[in-house]
Structure 1
Amino acid sequence: MLEIRPCCEHCGKDLPNTATDAMICSFECTYCEECATTVFENVCPNCGGGFQKRPVRPQAYIEKYPPSEKKVFKPKDIESLQEHINKYREIPPEKR
């Protein structure tokens, strides 16, 4: 089950369960759409995978399975990641 992390790991933007601009990789690294697509160019800075829209947990399950309240905030040094991003950005995520 997804944690539904509450913020963008890079810029800190709030991403509550209902956020439609939350993006995750297969390890559930969580970024806002702006950071995932513009800053990281669809390359997860942690694993090199691609991003997908994070689903919204239905309200009927929020009480039983609440979203995480633990904020993961680890801004990245884009300059030091540029080689990593360049290595993967032209390769489709399913072929990385």
Structure 2
Amino acid sequence: MLELRPCCECCGTDLPPASREARICSYECTFCAGCADGVLRGLCPNCGGELVRRPIRPAERLLKHPAGTVRKVKPGGCVAA
């Protein structure tokens, strides 16, 4: 089950569970669309994998399986892989 991390690892932008701006890799590293499409050019800086839009968990399912709350942000932002 996806953790639905709460923010972009590059810039710290909030990415709530219903955000269509969240991008993830297969390891669930999480970035905003601006960073993913911009400086990262669609590739995860941690594993080099493709960044794709994170699916949205329906609100009623969040009650049983809530989104993650631990914020992980790279000091100094990101650079392309």
**TM-score normalised according to structure 1 size:** 0.78
Deviations 1:9-60 (A, max 9, x none): 0000000001110000000000000101111001110000111100111011
More helix by share: 1
**In the comparison of the two structures, how many residue pairs are matched?**
79
Q: Give the fraction of aligned pairs with identical amino acids, expressed as a percent.
A: 47
Name structure 2 gaps, 5 residues minimum. Answer: none
Cross-structure match for 2:38: 38
- Asked if 1:4 corresponds to 2:21, the answer is no
**Paired residues for 1:20-39 under 5 Å:** 20-39=20-39
Provide the C-alpha distance between the structure 1 equivalents of 2:71 and 2:43, rounded to a whole number of angstroms: 21
Give the CA RMSD over aligned residues: 1.0
Q: Which runs of 4+ in 1 moved over 6 A?
A: none
**TM-score normalised according to structure 2 size:** 0.92
Q: Which has the higher contact order (CA 8 A, sep 6+)?
A: 2
Cross-structure match for 2:60: 60
Amino acid in structure 2 at the alignment position of 1:56: I
